[in-house]
């Protein structure tokens, strides 16, 4: 039943319509869906569009590669991240995903 519910989540069909395509009644689909949500509570949380979108980056002054300029990231929540330009990609990724 969980395999069917995961397939349904990837589709654009409603619970009722998807159930009909699978030959499963709406009542059974609702029951399975409730059980699934209890067992996997984080699975039904939707990620907001704001969290998944990119924002434009503005560069105020063209920077040459030889110039040592720190990397600055300003998050919408007010957090400001500044790190050296020679930081390794792995560390930068860790810092970015913290906020």
- Looking at 27-36, 38-47, 84-93, which range is the least confident one? 38-47
- Which pLDDT score is estimated for 97? 76
Establish if 23 belongs to a structural domain.
yes
Task: Give the count of domains, the chain.
Answer: 2
pTM to 2 decimal places: 0.42
Q: Which domain holds residue 33?
A: 2-44
Whether residue 84 contacts residue 77, with contact meaning beta carbons closer than 8 Å, is answered with no
In a domain, 33, yes or no: yes
Is residue 52 in a domain? no
More confident residue, 84 or 16: 16
Is 49 within a domain?
no
pLDDT tens digit string along 46-87? 555 555 566 677 766 665 655 567 788 877 777 788 888 778
pLDDT of residue 61: 66
**38 located within any domain:** yes
């Amino acid at each position: 039943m969980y395999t069917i519910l995961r397939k349904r989540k990837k589709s654009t069909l409603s619970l009722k319509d998807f159930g009909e395509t699978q030959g499963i009644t709406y009542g059974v689909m609702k029951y399975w869906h409730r059980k699934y949500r209890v067992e996997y509570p984080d699975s039904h949380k939707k990620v907001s569009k704001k969290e998944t979108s990119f924002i434009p980056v503005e560069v105020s002054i063209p920077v040459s590669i030889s110039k040592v300029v720190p990397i600055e990231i300003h998050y919408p929540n007010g957090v400001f991240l500044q790190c050296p330009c020679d930081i390794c990609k792995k560390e930068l990724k860790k810092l970015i995903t913290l906020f």
